[in-house]
């Protein structure tokens, strides 16, 4: 192929499996329930598959999929307002193993605090922190202005720091996973 010939664009159907782990992580962050997250990812894939004619090849497939997942989550949430909540975390707490050392205890404290954030704050931290989307990409997926994304991210990080009783620059974790550090990295809660 010469440099004057255009690069072939991959069929998005072939690229779809590469995005499943990120979709599942995002779904878990929104639903806080593994089974519900798996159902949400499945619904997202079905909607994407049946609407690939609306996807513009060569654009960001992951952002398109995340937008479908997000819209599906909030549509389902509006439909299911009568569901019983788990505000005390009784059910959610039964799904986790008790920490057996300080690192896991710190991570458990982080998860508890993260769970107390609003869905909008969890969403923005997952998108711009853990998933690595730019503020602009996140704004497009969320259907809000870039300034709104920045504001939500800053408020969410500040809320997490307050709930965890962290001082600016204080490092909470040693040896935690990269997703947690990515969510917290722009907040001043850890030393990057």
Decide which of 1.10.1840.10, 1.10.357.10, 1.10.10.10, 3.10.560.10 is the CATH code for 101-184.
Answer: 1.10.10.10
Percent of the chain with pLDDT over 70: 70
Domain 15-79 bears CATH identifier 1.10.1740.10: yes
* Residue 49 tokens, joined: 């598959």
> Does residue 173 register a pLDDT over 60?
no
d(CA 44, CA 95): 25
d(CA 107, CA 18): 27
pLDDT at 67: 93
pTM, 2 dp: 0.51
Higher pLDDT, 143 or 130: 143
- Write out pLDDT tens, residues 29-79: 999 999 999 999 999 999 999 998 898 888 899 999 999 999 999 888 877
pLDDT at 4: 57
pLDDT at 13: 83
One DSSP character per residue, 154-170 reads HHHHHHHHHHTTPPTT-
Q: Residue 165 region, left (φ>0) first, then alpha (ψ -120 to 50), else beta? A: left
- Write out pLDDT tens, residues 66-124: 999 999 998 888 777 655 566 676 666 666 554 444 555 567 788 888 889 999 999 99
Which residues have CB under 8 Å from 155's CB, separation 6+?
121
pLDDT at 132: 84
Domain locations along the chain:
15-79, 101-184
């Amino acid at each position: 192929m010469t440099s004057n010939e255009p690069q072939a664009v991959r069929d998005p159907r072939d690229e779809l499996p590469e995005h499943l782990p990120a979709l599942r992580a995002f779904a878990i962050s929104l639903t806080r329930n593994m089974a519900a997250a798996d159902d949400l990812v499945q619904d997202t894939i079905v909607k994407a598959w049946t609407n690939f004619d609306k996807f513009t090849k060569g654009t960001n497939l992951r952002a398109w999929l995340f937008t479908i997942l997000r819209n599906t989550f909030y549509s389902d949430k509006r439909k299911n307002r009568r569901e019983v909540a788990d505000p005390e975390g009784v059910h959610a707490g039964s799904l986790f193993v008790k920490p057996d050392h300080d690192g896991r205890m710190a991570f458990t404290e982080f998860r508890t605090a993260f769970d107390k954030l609003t869905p909008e704050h969890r969403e923005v931290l997952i998108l711009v922190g853990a998933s690595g989307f730019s503020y602009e990409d996140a704004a497009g997926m969320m259907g809000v202005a870039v300034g709104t994304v920045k504001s939500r991210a800053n408020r969410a990080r500040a809320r997490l720091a307050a709930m965890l009783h962290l001082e600016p620059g204080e490092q909470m974790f040693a040896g935690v996973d990269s997703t947690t550090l990515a969510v917290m990295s722009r907040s001043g809660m850890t030393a990057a």
